[in-house]
Amino acid sequence: MSESLAPAVNDLSRPFWNAAAEGRLALPYCVATGCPFWPPAPTSPFRTAGAVEWRDAEAVGIVSSIVVYRRAFQSALAEHLPYGIALVQVARGVRLLAHLEDPEAAPKPGTRVNLCFRRLAWSETPVLAIAPQE
């Protein structure tokens, strides 16, 4: 049995993955405060039983940290070493993980980056990635 790299898609995360399939970054927002949050939840973390709506978000952020894997964290990625992951702050209180196409040329923490969704050879769904510098 081979290991799957597919994300766990459920009622809470489905809007994120549906937007990703269209190349858009969508986040859950508190209707009362207008604040985005992550991870998705059925109610707002800012208001008791607060309503939630999904909205498109700007696909830019600041790199908080980077890790480069030289040993496979997941066996399904062993043939893709080295691979890198960045923690990117996309909004106040919202940090997402993004794939690094070239971990050896990764942006430094504190760098503003553009994000995009890409289908990689090993991914079954689009992967959030740091967009190449132009």
Shared domain check, 108 and 45: no
Any domain includes 24: yes
CB 14 within 8 A of CB 83: no
70 shares a domain with 43: no
- pLDDT, one tens digit for every residue, the chain (134 residues): 467 778 889 999 999 999 999 999 999 999 999 999 999 999 999 999 999 999 999 999 999 999 999 998 788 888 889 989 999 999 999 999 999 988 888 899 999 999 999 988 777 889 999 987 66
Residues 63 and 52 in one domain: no
Shared domain check, 69 and 50: no
71 and 124 belong to one structural domain: yes
Q: Is residue 103 part of a domain?
A: yes
Domain count, the chain: 2
CA atoms within 13 A on the CB side of 124: 8
